[in-house]
Amino acid sequence: AIGPFTTTLLAIIVLDDAIAVMAYAVGSNVAESLITGFQNISWYRMLAVPAVDIIGSILLGTVLGFGLTYISRFIKKKPQLLAVVAGTIFLCVGISNALGLSSILANMTMGFIVVNRMKHNEDMFGVIHNIEGVIFAMFFTLAGAHFDLGVIKTAGLLAAVIILARFAGKFVGVRVGASISHASPEIKKYLSFGLFPKAGVTIGLAMLIKEHQAFSNIASIMINAILASVIINEIISPPLTKYMIFKVGEAGRRE
């Protein structure tokens, strides 16, 4: 599917993921301060530290993105290009972990720089496409290993709340945003259906919960609730997305 509606949807999804990472950086610090007790609340810790992390992650991704774009000009063979791309991604993750930055946001920024700076970025993303199936399989297998049936009852109730609140937020947000920006009726009416799916970034952020000592007592419930909501979303969302694409008339279009 190709068209103005699909292009708008993809752009919003990217922005949605980036904002989610930034919101997590701020929200997790606020929640951690509240859990540890009101007497330990520090505005510096809640706002300044996340801001530094966000800016640092964006700067790291920008530097590596420009570096990868420059180096790739001299690489002609796909196996070598794959090695450089994978190495740069691992380097980004390693530096992010060493500096306490967000590897998710840093890599997203790096990808943004590459796709906008390279004239022939399809070669780079083509080599990644060849191995992404294996990466996704490993990623979701590791995520599934965190399922704990012992907390599934409590986590299930929380998952239901997450799903309903998220659906309501997407629906209302699209309506309000489309009205303010004077978007087309199709975007106002159908775009929210394309924003319901969630998986990669959501699961990646959920796994970071374990790194916060303050969440140790509720980490299992939170992670299982998020994973359960992802599974349910991935069951419900594809038919809704298909319905959306057909209703706007962009299904099957190639150009």
Q: Is the pLDDT of residue 136 over 80?
A: no
Question: Residue 212 has what pLDDT?
Answer: 75
Candidate ranges 54-63, 73-82, 120-129, 148-157; pick with highest mean pLDDT: 54-63
Centroid of chain to Cα 188 = 23
Question: Residue 64 has what pLDDT?
Answer: 95
- Residue ranges in the chain assigned as alpha helix (H): 4-35, 43, 49-72, 78-99, 103-117, 121-129, 132-144, 152-181, 185-194, 200-207, 219-247
> Residue 140 — pLDDT band, cuts 50, 70, 90?
confident
Q: 94-119 burial, b if ≥16 CB within 10 A, otherwise e?
A: ebbeeeebbbbbbbbbbbbbbeeebe
The contacts of residue 81 (CB under 8 Å, 6+ apart) are 72, 75, 123, 124, 127
DSSP label at residue 3: S
**Cα radius of gyration (the chain):** 20
Mean pLDDT across 31-45 = 68
Question: Residue 88 has what pLDDT?
Answer: 93
Question: Residue 95 has what pLDDT?
Answer: 96
pLDDT digits (tens, 9 = 90+) for 190-207: 888 888 877 777 878 877
d(CA 66, CA 88): 11
Question: Residue 231 has what pLDDT?
Answer: 83
- Residues counted in the chain: 255
pLDDT digits (tens, 9 = 90+) for 73-111: 888 888 888 888 889 999 999 999 999 888 888 998 998
Candidate ranges 5-14, 23-32, 49-58; pick with highest mean pLDDT: 49-58
Question: Residue 10 has what pLDDT?
Answer: 83
Q: What is the 3-state secondary structure (H, E, C) of 62-125?
A: HHHHHHHHHHHCCCCCHHHHHHHHHHHHHHHHHHHHHHCCCHHHHHHHHHHHHHHHCCCHHHHH
pTM: 0.75
Residue 141 burial (10 A CB sphere; 0-12, 13-18, 19+): exposed
pLDDT digits (tens, 9 = 90+) for 207-243: 777 777 777 787 888 888 888 888 888 888 888 888 8
Question: Residue 58 has what pLDDT?
Answer: 94
Q: Is the pLDDT of residue 150 over 70?
A: yes
Cα-Cα-Cα-Cα dihedral sign, residues 58, 64, 65, 67: positive
Q: What are phi and psi of 118, to 5 degrees?
A: -85, 135
Share of the chain above pLDDT 70, in %: 92
Residue 11, token pair as written in the block = 């752009």
User: What mean pLDDT, rounded, does the chain reach?
Assistant: 82
Residue 2, CA distances (Å) to 114, 200, 228 in order = 22, 23, 31
Mean pLDDT across 135-156 = 76
Contact 249, 185 (CB under 8 A): no
